[in-house]
Each structure stands twice: as C-alpha cells, then as structure tokens.
Structure 1
Amino acid sequence: MNYSLLILAVVICFSCIHIIEVLSFMARIAGVKENKKSLAYSLQNAIFMLTRFFMMALLPVLGLLIDKGIDKNSYLMMVFCALLGASIFSFLVFIMRHKVIKAFSRIINNIIRGRNIFKEIILFPFYFFSSYGEGKYKKKSVIINKSIFISSGMVFCIYSLSVFMVFFIALFFPDYRTMISQLSGVTNAFATVLLTFIIEPKISRSIDLSDDTEQSENMLLSLILGRIFGVGFISLFVISVVFYAFI
C-alpha cells in the first residue's frame, strides 16, 4: 500500500508544529527588547496555541498509519524525515531571527495601540517581508547558556520522540493499538512538565530580575538552540539506532 501522502502529511504537520513553537519564543524575545514582557508572554502563548491545529491533524494520521499496518522500517524513516524537517526549518527561523523579531516587535506595538491580537498574528508574514525597523537591532553573536542549552536539548528530545515512539510500540501490539496510542498524551505531558517547572521558571525569573536585555535574549536563544540540537541531533541519533536495530 502506498503511504506517501500520509507520510508527507505527518512530516509537514510535525515541521509546522516546531516552526510555530520556535516563532513563539522569538515573540517573547521581541517583548524583552520592547520592554513589554507580560504582553510578549501572552503573545507567545497565543502563537503556541496555533500548534493545536497541526497536532489535531497529526495524531489521526499517525493512528491511520498504524491501523493500515505500515511497515516498521517505513515508519522509522518517516519519523527520521519529520525530525529532520522540523530541525532544518527551526534552524532557518533561528538564522532569520532578526527579521522575525522585528516583525513581532511591530505586532506587539500594534497590540498596544488596541489592535486585535489574532489579526496581528495572521499578518505576521506581511510584517516579516516588510522593511519595518531596519537597523533598529544590531546583529550580535549568541552567548550560549550551557545549562539551559543542555536541559532544553534533553527536554525537546523527549518531546519530539514521545508521540512517535508510542505509536511505534503500537505496531508490535496491533490488538492493543488504541490503548497504547492514548499513552502519547502521557509521554508528551512529561516533557511539557519538565519545560514548565524547570526551564521556563529559570528563564522567566532571569528576565524579570535582570535589566540586561542581551542576557535575557541569550537565555531564550540558548533554549531555542538547545531545542534544535535535541530534535536535530539527539532525537535523530536515537531514531537511527532504533532503525538499524530493525534492519
């Protein structure tokens, strides 16, 4: 059976989820630069909610692939492509971070003037490709916070693999695939708890207590780089090991 379209849908949905989440952190950096930290946090959460649309599409497609009995090696290759796509596009967002931050700065200032937050988020591509704010922010190298980088890498490795590996286990026990697939929420929640109660408070405390904008920006960028490393290197390494174990 040809699973090409379903596999492509998984890769696209997973990549979009990670792109949107990286963009949400860029919105928070813009808030730090504009000294609108609370508003930026609200904007970050609003952008993050857009991932739910892609997650609602991803899970049923994964379930359908399991129900159709996709080959285990084909499934692992799909996961490899999804992780690779997510890491590449996330890195592209990081490379273009200065234009992204400028666009979010405009959105934040427009929201302050009373504009609707949802409409402003929809207009993000227009702001991104416009020349607004040229020369406002100087390009600087990132000073990586090792603690946040490592923690972020491990958390987002778990986060990126959790759903895929649960459905992979379901391939071995097709009679219990419905029950096993429900565990994806549990494993995904574990990574979310680590991010929410360990990494996020540390960054928020630093941002609130420090007047050093550059330090706060470096902490958030360290989290993003750690995320890219966790998804693009650690997770890919794990999947490669699992793949070669089943060849």
Structure 2
Amino acid sequence: MATQIIIVLVLTMFINGMTTLSYAVRLVGVKTGRIAITFSLFNILVLLSRTANTLQAPLLAKTVEQDLKHGVSSNTGIFRYIILSCTIGAILGALLIPTFQRLLSKAVSHFSVHKSIPRLFYVGLSGAGMQFVKESMRMPTKEQFLELPAHRDIPWRIFIYNVLASAIITISVLSCVYAAYLNPEYRTTASNLSGVINGLATVLMVLFIDPHLSILTDDVVLGKLSEGTFRRFVSYMVIARITGTLLAQLLLLPCAQLIAWLAEKV
C-alpha cells in the first residue's frame, strides 16, 4: 500500500505542476507571437498529465478498497497528504515558470523552422539540448514578486473564481473516492460522480476565467496591454491556483459527504 500511495503522491505533484505551468504558455505565446504553436506543443505535456491522472484514481481507489476489507472506516490522513502534494506541485510549477518559459520558447522557435515533433524530441534529448536545459534553469527573482500590481488593479472577482475552481478541481476525484468510506454500499456510484464536482469548476473556467485570460492575451498581442502588466496578472493567477489547493483541505469532507448523499439518491 505504501508504494501505491507514493506513486499517487508523485503523480499528483506532476499533474498540479503541469496545471500551474499552463499559465506560462500564454506568456510564451505573446512573447513569441506564435500562440497556436505554443499551445500545440504544450498539449504534448498535457497528454502526459492526463495519462497520469487516469492512473491516479484507480490506485487511490484500490487503497480505499483494501481499507474497507480490513474494517477501516476512515483514513483522512492519506487524502490530506495528497492534497498537500497538490499544493507542493503547484508551488514547484510556479518556481519552474521562468525555466519553462525559456525551454518552451526555444521549442517553439525550433518547431517553427523544422516542423517536426520527432526532430524536436531528438534535439531536446541530445547533449546540446541537455546543456541548454541546464543553462535555462532560473528561479523567480525577488523583483518579480515585488512588482505584483496594486490591489486595486486586480480583478478580484476573477481571482476568487480561480481560487474556487482550483479548489474544486483539486478535490473532484478525491472527494468521490473518499465517499466510499462514508457510504461503502454505493462506492461505485460515488466514484463515477466526479463529473458533478468537476462540472462546477468547468462552469467557472469556461464562463469567467478563460475568456478573461483570452481577452488579456489578445490585448497584449494587439498592443493594448503591456507584456509586463499581463505577466503580473498571470502571477496573481498562479497565487490563486496555490491558494485553491489550500482551500481544498477545508472542502474535502463536505464534498465527500455531498457525493455520498448523491450516490444514494441518484
């Protein structure tokens, strides 16, 4: 069981790290002027993240099944650690944004010339590619944190929506799996209700957050908004992402209770 939990924790950190790095994609897009290519290349990493996500739930569900067989009716500790790994993954992703920007910008430039994904991977894994990765390692500077815009310049409504969406996404699968402890007879139904929780986050993302980020991205490309202002706004969205994973600690049990109730009523 310990091995399963370690794998889940690693996968969770990877998934959340990729999610946080997605904010840097827009920065690279506006900097290179090749937004479509930038998102296309990043989707390769998203595919890896989604593959990891499909492995996460079964491994965690198996742990719960083993607990139930041994008469364990609650095991919040594991779930708290998993949510903590979400926070750690988001923080690591935030710290890697400067490095990721340089690497993705280089990848976009290379792909624009050669137009070959296999060649891109070959160059990236070559000695010269590894040397470039080493030289590109950067940490966020103190100035980047100090240059965050004043409170009045931030659309706090979007910030709060992002916090809520991040919290909901963090616990969507976890609350459904934990619901098996609360209502073991309907644990199969509960495990399939993650879409109900994810649906709330999707509504917030699609209706409010993504359109706002897209408008800002276009404004930078059109010269209506400075790249520095956009970069600082993205920094706040990253902070919202990390804050959302912290809020998830409070929402885990209430959402699990809701899922356990829905599993019996649907």
- TM-score of the pair, normalised by structure 1: 0.82
1:165: how far off? 0.8
1:224 to 238, 241, 245: 238
Q: Counterparts of 1:137-152 in structure 2 under 5 Å?
A: 140=144, 141-143=147-149, 145=154, 146-152=156-162
| Residue 187 (1) aligns with residue 197 (2) | yes
1:104 is aligned to 104
Sort the Cα spacing of 1:177 and 1:138 in 2 relative to 1 into closer, same or farther, 3 A: closer
Q: Aligned equivalents of 1:153 and 1:16: distance in 2?
A: 19
Sort the Cα spacing of 1:59 and 1:190 in 2 relative to 1 into closer, same or farther, 3 A: same
Query: 3-state SS of the aligned residue for 1:222?
Result: helix
Sort the Cα spacing of 1:14 and 1:89 in 2 relative to 1 into closer, same or farther, 3 A: closer
Q: Aligned equivalents of 2:132 and 2:164: distance in 1?
A: 31
Query: 3-state SS of the aligned residue for 2:114?
Result: coil
Check conservation: 1:66, 1:170, Cα contact below 8 A. Answer: yes
Q: Aligned equivalents of 1:121 and 1:62: distance in 2?
A: 32
Query: 3-state SS of the aligned residue for 1:56?
Result: helix
1:31: how far off? 1.6
Q: Aligned equivalents of 2:9 and 2:231: distance in 1?
A: 30
Sort the Cα spacing of 1:220 and 1:18 in 2 relative to 1 into closer, same or farther, 3 A: same
Check conservation: 1:47, 1:121, Cα contact below 8 A. Answer: no
Q: Aligned equivalents of 2:5 and 2:192: distance in 1?
A: 21
Query: 3-state SS of the aligned residue for 1:131?
Result: helix
Q: Aligned equivalents of 1:234 and 1:119: distance in 2?
A: 42
Check conservation: 2:158, 2:208, Cα contact below 8 A. Answer: no
1:215 is aligned to 229
Which amino acid in the other structure matches residue 50 of structure 1? L
Sort the Cα spacing of 1:128 and 1:185 in 2 relative to 1 into closer, same or farther, 3 A: farther
1:165 is aligned to 175
1:133: how far off? 10
2:89 is aligned to 89
Check conservation: 2:24, 2:97, Cα contact below 8 A. Answer: yes
1:138: how far off? 11
Sort the Cα spacing of 1:208 and 1:171 in 2 relative to 1 into closer, same or farther, 3 A: same
1:130 is aligned to 134
Sort the Cα spacing of 1:163 and 1:180 in 2 relative to 1 into closer, same or farther, 3 A: same
Return 5+ residue gaps in structure 2 as ranges.
256-266
Q: Aligned equivalents of 2:201 and 2:52: distance in 1?
A: 19
- TM-score of the pair, normalised by structure 2: 0.77
Check conservation: 1:32, 1:216, Cα contact below 8 A. Answer: no
1:203 is aligned to 213
What do the CA deviations read for 1:28-73 (whole angstroms, capped 9, x no partner)? 3212222222322333433322211111111111221232235454
Check conservation: 2:163, 2:240, Cα contact below 8 A. Answer: yes
2:248 is aligned to 235
2:185 is aligned to 175
Which is worse superposed, 40-49 or 125-134? 125-134
1:151: how far off? 1.6
1:245 is aligned to none
Q: Aligned equivalents of 2:132 and 2:73: distance in 1?
A: 40
Identity %: 22
1:183: how far off? 0.5
Check conservation: 1:150, 1:226, Cα contact below 8 A. Answer: yes
For these two proteins, the number of residue pairs brought into alignment is: 237
What do the CA deviations read for 1:111-141 (whole angstroms, capped 9, x no partner)? 211343476479499377332599xx99633
Query: 3-state SS of the aligned residue for 1:130?
Result: helix
Q: Identify the structure with the greater helix proportion.
A: 2
Check conservation: 2:18, 2:93, Cα contact below 8 A. Answer: no
2:27 is aligned to 29
Name the larger-Rg structure: 2
Q: Aligned equivalents of 1:98 and 1:139: distance in 2?
A: 13
Check conservation: 2:25, 2:42, Cα contact below 8 A. Answer: yes
Q: Aligned equivalents of 1:240 and 1:18: distance in 2?
A: 21
